[in-house]
Amino acid sequence: MKEFLVRNKKPICKWGSLQKGTKFRGAIPYGYDLGIAPEDDYIVVDVDRHGDKDGFKKIPVDIKIELDKTFNYPTKNNGQHFWLRYSGDKKLPNKTSGTGIDLRVRGIGYVVWYPKEPIDNYIDKINKTSENLNKWIEEVFCYSNKQNGRKNKQRNIQVK
């Protein structure tokens, strides 16, 4: 994982040029947070609650149960970051779904790290994705193979 300082959720360095495995050392200065970019097969499902968008309402019950079993932590806006090891075979994009659920992937995405302890303390708590979770992630974030390039329709099953 690449670690770097962010201020107001914006990196203060060209984090894409940092070497793989770069770790931030020392105390995080006041007014800054730690940003972490997933590497290898790690991904982050970032569920937000902003205004009238509540990403949790767009997550099917079976998927939410699985997400709750992997390492996760709350964000400042009552959202959640769910860390996973993607076991599927699709090239995942770093993107937003438009429904309050974002995906952050290797090389092009990062999240703000809110826990007090280093991420290395949690690596063994990050679960691999199941076939069911892979299918959901791919439906929500990947483009279909159709010639028109339209995005697959997201399963819109409400959480009860």
Per-residue pLDDT, averaged over 97-115, amounts to 92
Range of 93's domain?
2-141
**155 in any annotated domain:** no
Higher pLDDT: 17 or 160? It is 17
Question: Within a 10 A sphere around the Cβ of 49, how many other Cβ atoms?
Answer: 16
Domain count along the chain: 1
**55 in any annotated domain:** yes
Q: What is the pLDDT of residues 58-78, one digit of tens each?
A: 999 999 999 999 999 999 889
**150 in any annotated domain:** no
Per-residue pLDDT, averaged over 134-160, amounts to 61
**24 in any annotated domain:** yes
In the 3-class helix/strand/coil scheme, how is 31-80 assigned residue by residue? CCEEEEECCCCEEEEEECEECCEEHHHHCCHHHHHHHHCCCEEECCCCCE
Q: What is the pTM of this model?
A: 0.86
Tell me, what's the pLDDT at 40? 93
Q: HSE, CB side, 13 Å, CA atoms: give it for residue 62.
A: 12
Arithmetic mean of pLDDT over the chain = 88
User: Is 6 exposed, middle or buried, given 0-12, 13-18 or 19+ CB atoms closer than 10 A?
Assistant: buried
Q: Which of 100, 89, 94, 124 is nearest to 49 (CA)?
A: 100
pLDDT at 145 over 70: no
**Partners of 146 in beta bridges:** none
**119 in any annotated domain:** yes
In the chain the first and final C-alpha atoms are separated, in Å, by 35
Tell me, what's the pLDDT at 113? 95
Number of H helices, E strands in the chain: 2, 12
Per-residue pLDDT, averaged over 109-132, amounts to 95
